Amino acid sequence: MTSRTPYEAIVRERTTLSPHLVRLVLEVSDGFASTGVPDEWVALTVPGQFQTRYYTVRSLDGALLTIDVVIHDEGLVTSWAQTECVGDVVGLSAPKASFDPPPDATWVVLAGDLTALPAMARIVETVAGVRVMVHAEVPDGPLPGYLGDVAWSVAPSGTSDLARIVRGIEWPEGPGYFWMAGESAQMRDVRRHARHDLGWDTRHYDVMGYWSGSRGRQARAVDPGPIYARGRAAGKSDADIWADYDAARDRA
């Protein structure tokens, strides 16, 4: 363990769900507790590594934590998750989360790629009293039974077309909440669309970059910390700070 992963867990089960998705069931140590928010994520440290990677929680049933790991062409968790890892001890951080529909929301729209599937599935199982619609992008075709009623689209592994898909959504009437996660450059485009084209305030959407493609890796050279600090010092809203950050990424 490291200071960022204060809890231990033992891998109890490993199941291949698709060519690009592996399910791990972990038995967590005492003290690990859910936030109660359905899109919560944890930092995972695997054997032989000191770096962490972040994964959303598919489920937490007592001491059994389930995470679904996306298998990329390369990566420290990808390589480990494809081994016979049952019995391995891993490190976990305390979970964090962001899903927070406003009280006036009468609908929820979810969109994401393979990395967002666990969170979207858990949100669907948790949210009650409002209409929930899901748009999921996957590399290997639909995963029957994973999410129920879903608008599926297919994109080759390592690519994404979610920004175009979101621009084509026919939004329900009335106030709602849009949650989305996926490739960071696509998420930048969607945030701009929500803010400028749709005119939404940040209470009604949460758009997060879960991984970086070639455009996203270039944009990561921009450190968000100073931009956030300057924006706060100037009294700017979160939406204005996001705009400053996206503009800096464009220049990069």
Fold observed for domain 107-212: Rossmann fold (3.40.50)
Note the CATH number of domain 7-92: 2.40.30.10
- Predicted confidence at residue 4, as pLDDT, reads 56
Average pLDDT over residues 143-150: 89
- Looking at residue 216, the DSSP 8-state letter turns out to be H
Position 205 pLDDT exceeds 90: yes
- Looking at residue 70, the DSSP 8-state letter turns out to be E
| pLDDT single digits (tens) 227-239 | 878 888 898 876 6
State both tokens at 158. Answer: 């390592």
Q: Coil, strand, or helix at residue 107? A: strand
Question: Strands 89-92, 41-45: parallel, antiparallel or unpaired by DSSP?
Answer: antiparallel
pTM: 0.83
| pLDDT single digits (tens) 13-44 | 999 999 999 999 999 999 999 999 999 999 99
Instruction: Tell which wins on pLDDT, 176 or 76.
Output: 176
Domain boundaries, the chain: 7-92, 107-212, 221-252
Indicate the pLDDT class of residue 252, thresholds 50, 70 and 90. low
Position 216 pLDDT exceeds 50: no
| pLDDT single digits (tens) 49-88 | 878 899 999 999 999 999 999 998 777 898 899 999 999 9
Instruction: Tell which wins on pLDDT, 50 or 224.
Output: 50
